[in-house]
Structure 1
Amino acid sequence: MSELTIKPAVDLLAMLQQRSISSFELAQEHVREIERLDPLLHAFADFDPDRVLRAARQADQQSHTRSSPLLGLPMTVKSSIATAGHRCEIGSILNRGFIPEEDALVVQRMRQAGAVLLGTTNCPEFLMAYETDNLLYGATVNPWSLGHSAGGSSGGEAAAIAAGISAGGIGSDSGGSVREPAHFTGICSLKPTPGRIPGKGHLPPCVGPFSMLGAVGPMARTVRDVSLFFQILSGQDIADPAGALVSLRPIADERLRSQPIAVLEDDGFIPVTIETRNAVRSAVIALEERGFQIRPFQSRMLEEARLLWWKFFIRCGRMLLEPLIQGRETELSATFRYFLDTARSEPLLSGEELIEAWTRCDQVRARLLEELSPYSVLLSPVCSIPAFRHGEREWFVEGCKVEYFSAMRFTQWFNLLAAPAAVVPVGRSPEGLPIGVQIASLPYRDEVVLAVAEMLDQDFGYQVPPTACHPNSLPR
């Protein structure tokens, strides 16, 4: 294991700025770790060591003439975010070999800040799964256990960051896709308010209902790193209809404590494992010891919010994606087929039903936002369960059968709300798998979410997974 590559990104940047290590040396360490571990993890979709080392040499040359906030830091990008010169196939044979000519705006900002791009990372086909598996690169393995999923759809990013083969990166999230993989692999992530980090260049485009549901978000081993990436990559894209001119707003400690924190252990519909419940309770105790007031949260709107998310993500998602796969359904992966089978079990949305859902969406969002307004943040589980075994689609929790999409409901509410939500690792399952806690708030309160998340990260936080230490003895 390289002790260097598991350090927080902020520490690596300090070493680069102090010239205690060069960009080239840091890139070499990451290349060695990628070559050692990625044949096991399948985290990368595109990795060229020679290109990485050339970029690192250029960063060293630039270090004498300019100061950039990410100069020399080795980072990754989910392969659904356009990255010029790199394969961005969205996990589909239908897009095999696709290489964008232009960067997504967020990748432009990452490069302008001086990051060294290690490559693009694996994702499920067309992003419509909570497990990263496809016919191009196979299943991405959880660094904590070979037999378990790293999550999806930003599973390649999560696995690479957790295993110490990327210092941090960029994922995307329309139903939990940066948060669930972070929870599964023991890292941190943020689904920001849509538009605070530009979505231009995401593949497929975040349009229609996905302009509200979807967001591009940072992933890293610590919340300090996530916050740094958010600061550097955020800022309005004037051509983004979902964008908003919201400047960065540091949060004073006394302001954080001016409102109580709400907590939700489950929603009354779907149970969570006892270890998941205990992780939320551990987070509550830690924040109470820091002087926060904690209040239980209840709402009758959560199930309706989830059902509305379902209409937009599952049923509208089917309508948007079916034209892309027409005539080529025999070439689709099992994960995408599961999504299609689920979506096709219901009739196509009519225009009348869609308008009714859109109208009701605003009413439900208004009610939920009003209910959340007395609180600074809401603590909740990320999922009902920790990482599941590859291919699993249902589980028994507290004697109840829990289906795949229902188990992930705790993230879906905040996509419908277009609200920020972060994940921090807090607990462990009986098998030793990570369990994260979700910290969410009202739209545009991203900095509040990150401030509370950083406190929990200081009390709990990232631990090195077995892969990075002894990959040959990883549990199966």
Structure 2
Amino acid sequence: IKDCWPVRGLRFTAGAWHMRDQIAHDDAPVVRKLREAGAIILGKTNCPDLSWMFETTNPIFGRTNNPRALDRSVGGSSGGEAAIIAAGGSPLGLGSDIAGSLRVPAACTGIVSLKPTPGRIPTDGHVPQVRGPIVPFNTAGPMARRVEDLALAFRVLADTPVRDYQTLALSGRTLIPFTTPFAQRPVIGAVMEAADALERAGMQRRVGVRFPAIKTLFSYSALVYKHGYDDVHRILGGGTPYRLWDEIAAIRQGETRISPLLLYFFALTTPSLRLANAVGFGERSLEQARQEWLALMGDDGVIVTNVLLGGVPYHGWGYTTPFMPPMTPLCNALGLPSAVVPVTWDAHGLPLAVQVVARPGEDEVVLAVAAALEQAFGGWRLAAG
């Protein structure tokens, strides 16, 4: 269980220094659902400070390495879950996702994950909680080795009825391959290979679709800044917003309380997000973007796209690429269900994964397409490291 969820009787830190000695007195509803279904809780797994980075490191437990290559990042923020599943230590895990935190680690480690439609799985008990218009951005979701295990966990965790994904026909459904700006050749190739396989399975490819990705990303980011930053800063500061120079001084004295990468991220992004908020990006522009996306997807469209811009990154990639992988937060902003599945593997045994995206409420379609890709390419492999 990712350490953003309380598990009765176990340490519950959310990766935040000021929560390092906290013990959970009750299970989160999602944890309770798993227990009631017969799941055995093996333990808690690492996450970055308040799940706010795409690297899994924090001042309490340090860095989580990728079991496929120890010099590579495991992604974040559900990186501890991804690592233990990829290494064969657990068949199933529970994470969370407000910008890609289920999907980036899955892509980095070669496992599968599902970010569901908002509202299908409860998020009560998650730390941090979010408020206002960004509440639907944060989702709970399962991570696993195989798509059939994702589907099993989804049925257990969901508050709404779940259809059997194996009964859904893909033949004739619209397929939209899409790669984001700055995507590198290997990941573009993985998307195209996935699209080819799905076309052979009977899906109808549509090309030349141009989604309003930039407007959507600015709208999402402005809302997260306006409704999320203050709460996170307060928790990180132990009840009052942290002071950047005080934290830098603490780091220089060997008393790190907030990960340097997170301080760097906030310092670098806050001015641009403040500007995006000031010039009018927000709820109205996001709703306009949502309607544009849904119109372009059509009634039965499924997008297959990249997760990362390149191969599995090395540790410290957040310093050189501090902004989030562009496609993952768009799904949170638009309320689109999405799953990640490995497609090909490079010469170093590292995965190249794709993301499958469908219309709101079509989580089962996402699982069906992911299962088709898993069957075509073989899916998860045990990490040899």
With normalisation by structure 1, the TM-score equals 0.73
Local SS of the residue matching 1:370: helix
- Indicate whether 1:463 and 2:372 are aligned: no
The alignment covers a number of residue pairs equal to 369
Local SS of the residue matching 2:265: helix
The answer for the alignment partner of 2:170 in structure 1 is 256
CA distance in 2, matches of 1:183, 1:222: 13
Question: Which amino acid in the other structure matches residue 291 of structure 2?
Answer: A
Is the Cα contact below 8 Å between 2:233 and 2:242 reproduced in 1?
no
Local SS of the residue matching 2:18: helix
Local SS of the residue matching 1:116: coil
CA deviation after TM superposition for structure 1 residue 84, in Å: 1.3
Q: What are the residue-to-residue correspondences of 1:197-212 with 2, within 5 Å?
A: 197-212=121-136
Is the Cα contact below 8 Å between 1:380 and 1:439 reproduced in 2?
yes
CA deviation after TM superposition for structure 1 residue 254, in Å: 6.4
Question: Which amino acid in the other structure matches residue 162 of structure 2?
Answer: L
- Indicate whether 1:393 and 2:311 are aligned: no
Instruction: From 134, 143, 150, give the equivalent of 1:219.
Output: 143
Instruction: From 289, 306, 309, give the equivalent of 1:384.
Output: 309
Q: What are the residue-to-residue correspondences of 1:161-200 with 2, within 5 Å?
A: 161-200=85-124
CA distance in 1, matches of 2:208, 2:329: 17
Instruction: From 218, 243, 260, give the equivalent of 1:307.
Output: 218
The answer for the alignment partner of 1:288 in structure 2 is 199
Instruction: From 243, 268, 279, give the equivalent of 1:342.
Output: 268
Local SS of the residue matching 2:162: coil
Local SS of the residue matching 1:261: strand
Is the Cα contact below 8 Å between 1:278 and 1:427 reproduced in 2?
no
Local SS of the residue matching 2:206: strand
CA distance in 2, matches of 1:254, 1:223: 14
Local SS of the residue matching 1:171: strand
CA deviation after TM superposition for structure 1 residue 380, in Å: 0.4
Question: Which amino acid in the other structure matches residue 372 of structure 2?
Answer: M
Q: What are the residue-to-residue correspondences of 1:395-434 with 2, within 5 Å?
A: 403-405=321-323, 408-434=325-351
Q: Deviations over 1:312-342 (max 9, x none)?
A: 2345432222222135744211132122212
CA root-mean-square deviation? 2.1
CA deviation after TM superposition for structure 1 residue 348, in Å: 4.5
CA distance in 2, matches of 1:465, 1:368: 37
Higher RCO structure (Cα 8 Å, ≥6 apart): 2
Local SS of the residue matching 1:231: helix
Q: Deviations over 1:208-240 (max 9, x none)?
A: 2431211000000001100110011101xxxxx
The answer for the alignment partner of 2:253 in structure 1 is none
Local SS of the residue matching 1:180: helix
CA distance in 2, matches of 1:165, 1:363: 44
Local SS of the residue matching 2:42: strand
**Unaligned runs of at least 5 residues, structure 2:** 251-256
Is the Cα contact below 8 Å between 1:262 and 1:375 reproduced in 2?
no
The answer for the alignment partner of 1:439 in structure 2 is 356
Structure 1 vs Structure 2: percent identity of aligned residues? 36
Is the Cα contact below 8 Å between 1:377 and 1:440 reproduced in 2?
yes
CA deviation after TM superposition for structure 1 residue 347, in Å: 6.9
CA deviation after TM superposition for structure 1 residue 206, in Å: 3.5
CA distance in 2, matches of 1:321, 1:102: 23
Is the Cα contact below 8 Å between 1:276 and 1:427 reproduced in 2?
no
**CA shift in 2, pair 1:316/1:83, >3 Å:** same
The answer for the alignment partner of 1:84 in structure 2 is 8
CA distance in 2, matches of 1:306, 1:430: 33
Q: Deviations over 1:407-453 (max 9, x none)?
A: x0011110110110000011223433111110001111000100111
Q: Deviations over 1:338-374 (max 9, x none)?
A: 22212333475799767x6112111111111111124
Q: What are the residue-to-residue correspondences of 1:324-343 with 2, within 5 Å?
A: 324=235, 325=237, 326-327=241-242, 329=247, 330=250, 331-343=257-269
Local SS of the residue matching 1:120: coil
Q: Deviations over 1:383-410 (max 9, x none)?
A: 1022211112366xxxxxxx3315x001
CA deviation after TM superposition for structure 1 residue 300, in Å: 4.4
**CA shift in 2, pair 1:79/1:351, >3 Å:** same
**Unaligned runs of at least 5 residues, structure 1:** 1-76, 236-245, 396-402, 468-476
Instruction: From 271, 275, 282, give the equivalent of 2:182.
Output: 271
Local SS of the residue matching 1:296: coil
CA distance in 1, matches of 2:182, 2:319: 13
The answer for the alignment partner of 2:295 in structure 1 is 370
Q: Deviations over 1:188-220 (max 9, x none)?
A: 000001110111111111332431211000000
Local SS of the residue matching 2:62: coil
Local SS of the residue matching 2:99: coil
Local SS of the residue matching 1:123: coil
Q: Deviations over 1:17-53 (max 9, x none)?
A: xxxxxxxxxxxxxxxxxxxxxxxxxxxxxxxxxxxxx
Local SS of the residue matching 2:343: strand
CA distance in 2, matches of 1:200, 1:297: 40
Question: Which amino acid in the other structure matches residue 221 of structure 2?
Answer: W
CA distance in 2, matches of 1:314, 1:262: 31
Local SS of the residue matching 1:119: coil
With normalisation by structure 2, the TM-score equals 0.90
Is the Cα contact below 8 Å between 1:173 and 1:214 reproduced in 2?
yes
